[in-house]
Structures are given as C-alpha cells and as structure tokens.
A = this chain, B = another copy of it.
Amino acid sequence: MNDQHPRVVTRADVARLAGVSTAVVSYVVNDGPRPVAADTAARVREAIEMLGYRPNASARALKLGTTGVLGLVVPDSSNPFYAELALEVERSATRRGLALLVASSNSDLELESRLIQDLASRQVDGLLVSAISGPPRITAGASRIPVPLTYLDAQLPVEGVSTVSSDGEAGARMLVQHLLRVHGHSTVALLMGTASTGWVDGRELGWQRTLREHGAPDAPLERAPFSRKGGYEGGLRLLRGRGRPAAVFASSDLQAIGLLRAAHELGIAVPGELAVVAYDGTEESEYCWPPLTCARQRIADIAEAAVNAVLDGRAPTHRVFDVDLLIRRSCGCTGEEPGELRTRRARPRDRIGPPPT
C-alpha cells in the first residue's frame, strides 16, 4: 500500500527550495508578467523539476476566472458520429491546452438542460452543445447561462448563439440526385430520424425538394430513432410493406446499417434489388457490407470551427460546412480499390457527373 498521495507540492515549497519568493515562481511558471533573471529562473525550474511541482488548477481557475476546460453535451457519446465528433473536439481543445468535459444527454430534454447547467456551474470556458431541443428552448436557456455557448450540428441558425453544422440539405440533394440521375431510380424513399424536436431537418427538406424538382412520385417516409436498431426496425417496415422501394436515403449511417441488416435478413440484395445511401460518413460506413455511398460530414472542420467560435467571444456566427460525396457500392456504383475512395466536393446544387465505370 504505497502512498499514492504524497504531500501536494505548492508554490511555497518550490520557492523555499530555490531560495526565492513565491512571486518569482509564478513569474517563471507563467513566463511573466514580470521578467526573471536567467540564472534565478534556472534555479526555480530545477526546483520545480525536483519536487514535481504542478500548479493547482483550482486555485488558478479561481484567480483567473478561467478553467481551461471546455464542455461538450451530445445526445449519445457512444453513437459513432458523436464519438468521432467528441474526439475531434477533444483534439481541437487539446491543441489549445484545454481539457474536455463530456456529457451525454441520452436524448432526454430534462437531462440535457441539467447537464448544461451543471457544466456551466463548473466554470467551463465554453460550452458546445449538440442539442436535441429546438431553438426556442435553447435561446431561452442560453441567456441565463454565464458561459459562451456554441451550438453544434444545429439544423438552423439560432438567434444569439453561434452555430456550426453541415449543410444537411445539400447532402441530401446530392445523394438523392445521385440515385435519380446516375442510377435512374424513379424515386427514393427516406428513412428519417426522430430525435429532433422543434427543428425542420435539412436532410428531410433536401430529400423532399429534390424529389419535387425532379417530378418524382411520392415515396415512403419512415421515421425511426437514430440508431442501428431504429434503422433495422424502420427498415423492416419499409421493406416488408407493399410498394417496397428500390432506393432508400437514410438520414444517418447507423440507420443505414440497420437497414442493411434488415435487407440481408430478408434476402434482398444490396445494391442489386435495393440501393442505399446515407448521411454522415463515419468510419463504420466504409466497413459495412456493402460499403455505403454517403454524404460525409467534415467532422474535424466542424469541431475546430466550433471550438474557435466558442472561444473567440465575438458576436455569434453561423457556419455551415459542405459535405463530401463518397461513392461506394451500396448505391450500385462499382466501388473502387480498397482504401481509395472517390470523393466529390459538395456544393449546394452541384450537378453530379456520369457514373464511374
């Protein structure tokens, strides 16, 4: 039972050992705000090294009013999309010397709002929220939160709060257009999520409008949770019903993967008898079978932009990122050599070229 908790070393210990005052230790540690003679500084650094001194973050936070911690609230941190997002946020934070406090709201409005309050009371320097609650609720809460807030993955700009998101409508358009034009489908069904409250989802809009613009007949819309299980069950409903669609756009990778399982179990060949495309483009979409053609969100860019937005303390901004079209096999394209993916930069209303051969 060795003592894992040796006496905590404070500034005073270092000062004593180095034969200086505590102020000098501080000046050395922070490289300012006052200069210290080179040899004195060296002595202090040596003492710090010997004692293993690390400044007490709580004291520092109290004095400075800044904790060096960012908070992130997501609906479900084990969902691969949010897991990848959290990792990228963490990386962006680490790059700036910040740590990341992660909380999952479990898609529960009540819990989400409690978590936001809790993180705020922990004096995080900024709060990134991928909320399930719609705009009214958000803005109402935001003004009471004494912490900069940025809204991640928001489907719409929200007044008074910075938002960062992907262009869901453009992504949906690209995918649906691909199925219509390249593969000649007459229409495309939608497997949509259910989690959002109070939003109009860009993906749904994009799907709807694209069909309309192409004069495509109405197609089934199935709603199911943003999960593999949700996609599976929604998929079964979609595929077992009469008028089984020949092409489906899933609003998330996870749902598409559930849909694939449903298709496999029903003996429906993908892409032969059923073309599938999905929104998100997490790594899992590349390794399921068949690999999914999808619109990939630029997660790292989104994370970086969100961290920037929440830290810069300026007027709220609303950034929308393009998505990338990843052509793989699930849509009926040939697919390509392993590891090499044909990518096309999305621009809204972008015209998709002829099928790869």
Contact = CB atoms under 8 A, between A and B. Distances in A.
A142 B232 CA distance: 46
Nearest to A67: B58
Main secondary structure of the interface of A (DSSP, over half): mixed
Nearest to A270: B289
Interface stretch (A97-105, A171-179, A272-280): A97-105
B90 A143 contact: no
Interface string A110-135: 00000001111111000000000000
Given A100-B102, A101-B69, A101-B99, A228 B58 contact: no
A316 to B, nearest CB: 8
What size tier do the contact residues of chain A reach? 35 or more
A212 interface: no
Nearest to A291: B261
A173 B180 CA distance: 50
B103 A94 contact: yes
A113 to B, nearest CB: 13
Contact of A143 (B2, B102, B142, B283): B2
Interface string A67-86: 11100000011101001101
B99 A100 contact: no
9 contacts: A4-B149, A54-B121, A55-B121, A90-B103, A100-B103, A228-B283, A228-B284, A257-B287, A261-B289
Interface of A: 1-2, 4-6, 8, 52, 54-59, 61-62, 67-69, 76-78, 80, 83-84, 86-87, 90-91, 94, 99-104, 117-123, 142-149, 160, 228-229, 232, 257-258, 260-261, 264-265, 283-284, 286-291, 315-316, 338-339
